[in-house]
Amino acid sequence: MKNNNPKGPTPSLIGSSNGRPKRVIVERKSKCCRCCDDIQAGQDCFGIPKVGSGFTSIRRFCKECFEKVLAQTYKDLEKIKNL
């Protein structure tokens, strides 16, 4: 079930708590951490590691949500460039 209204602002890749994103092939059914849509086994998604503790957890995003994350990151970069 897809949630059309994700909670909270769209995250950005600019930040000290996010690692480098990578493409991940899902080995078993998983959910997008943003919209809670199902990601089936064998599909690819994008994993963004959340670092900063003893263990690194990977937050998985579907393609649509990851595109929104990238758009927000570009907006943040433009704001930084204008400083």
> pLDDT value at position 42?
92
- Write out pLDDT tens, residues 17-75: 677 888 999 999 999 999 999 999 999 999 988 776 666 788 899 999 999 989 998 99
Enclosing H/E stretch for 41: none
Considering the entire predicted model, what is its pTM? 0.75
* DSSP symbols for 2-18: --SS-SSPPP-S-STTB
Contact 45, 63 (CB under 8 A): yes
Cα atoms in the Cβ-side hemisphere of radius 13 Å centred on 60: 19
Is the Cα dihedral 7, 55, 61, 26 positive or negative?
negative
> pLDDT value at position 15?
67
